[in-house]
Amino acid sequence: MAIGVISSTFDIVATNDGAVGFLIQNPGRAFAINGIKVYATSNTGNVQIARDGFTNFVADQSSVANAWAEFNLDYSNTAFTAAQDIWIDPQATTVTKFVINCIGNPSQSVTIT
């Protein structure tokens, strides 16, 4: 017999029509961010993704015009409680799509026989 863990993964897909920051409200689930992809159409520059407003940055990285960019994460800041929201600030970059890959946190124990 072995002991393992099981957890669900999910993507948050957000679209944006400009270079204005916005909030993705947490529906009440604890999770951790595994990966972030951003598609920018123009005005490439830093895009910030943070927990609780303008602090605790998960990622702060340059985007690429007319292409997807996969962001490097600060893994010390990827865990979110059920009460924490995601703040995205394109900082004058015209970003049209964000894909944020998440995993449920905490995972649950399972028994393997």
Q: Which residues contact 23 (CB under 8 A, 6 or more apart)?
A: 85, 86, 87, 88
Higher pLDDT, 78 or 46: 78
Mean pLDDT of the chain: 83
Overall domain count for the chain? 1
Residue 112 lies in a domain: no
Residue 76 lies in a domain: yes
Task: Give the range of the structural domain holding residue 80, as residue numbers without chain letter.
Answer: 11-103
Higher pLDDT, 48 or 96: 48
Q: 25: domain CATH number?
A: 2.60.120
Residue 20 lies in a domain: yes
Residue 49 lies in a domain: yes
Residue 45 lies in a domain: yes
Residue 5 lies in a domain: no
